Amino acid sequence: MRNWIRNGLWAAGVGCVFWAGASVRAAVVSPVMTAFHATKAHPAGFSINGWVELPPSSRSQNLENIVRGLAQKTHIQGPVHFDQGTDYQKTVIRQNIAGFSSELIAERLASGATYMVIDRVGSQGFSGLEESLGLVRHVLANYGSLHCSLTLQGTLPQKLSTTKAKHVINQAFRSIAAKSVNGMTTAHYVSVAGDSGFIHSHDYLQGHPVNIQVALSYNTYLHQEQVDVGTPLVTVTY
CA distance 17 to 30: 24
pLDDT tens profile 107-138: 999 999 999 999 999 999 999 999 999 999 99
Mean pLDDT for the chain overall: 88
CA distances 116 to 12, 89, 103, 127, Å, are 22, 12, 11, 25
Query: Which pLDDT does position 28 carry in this prediction?
Result: 55
Q: What is the pTM of this model?
A: 0.86
Query: Which pLDDT does position 25 carry in this prediction?
Result: 34
**Phi, psi (deg, nearest 5) at residue 207:** 85, 0
For the purposes of burial, counting CB atoms within 10 Å of the CB of 207, is it exposed (0-12), middle (13-18) or buried (19 or more)? exposed
Query: Which pLDDT does position 88 carry in this prediction?
Result: 97
- The DSSP symbol for 187 reads S
The whole-angstrom distance between residue 62's C-alpha and the CA centroid of its chain comes to: 27
Residue 95 has pLDDT above 50, yes or no: yes
- Which band of pLDDT confidence, cut at 50, 70 and 90, is reported for residue 205? confident
Query: Which pLDDT does position 116 carry in this prediction?
Result: 98
CA distance 122 to 73: 20
Query: Which pLDDT does position 238 carry in this prediction?
Result: 85
For 122, how many CA atoms within 13 A lie in the half-sphere containing its CB?
20
CA distances 144 to 51, 52, 66, 140, 185, Å, are 9, 6, 14, 7, 37
CA distance 132 to 146: 15
Query: Which pLDDT does position 144 carry in this prediction?
Result: 92
- Which band of pLDDT confidence, cut at 50, 70 and 90, is reported for residue 181? very high
Query: Which pLDDT does position 16 carry in this prediction?
Result: 32
Percent of the chain at pLDDT exceeding 90: 83
Residue 232 has pLDDT above 80, yes or no: yes
Residues 158 and 225 sit within 8 Å (Cβ to Cβ)? yes
pLDDT tens profile 3-18: 333 333 223 333 333 3
Q: List domains and CATH numbers for the chain.
A: 21-231 (3.30.2030.10)
Percent of the chain at pLDDT exceeding 70: 88
Mean pLDDT over residues 228-232, rounded?
97
Mean pLDDT over residues 158-167, rounded?
96
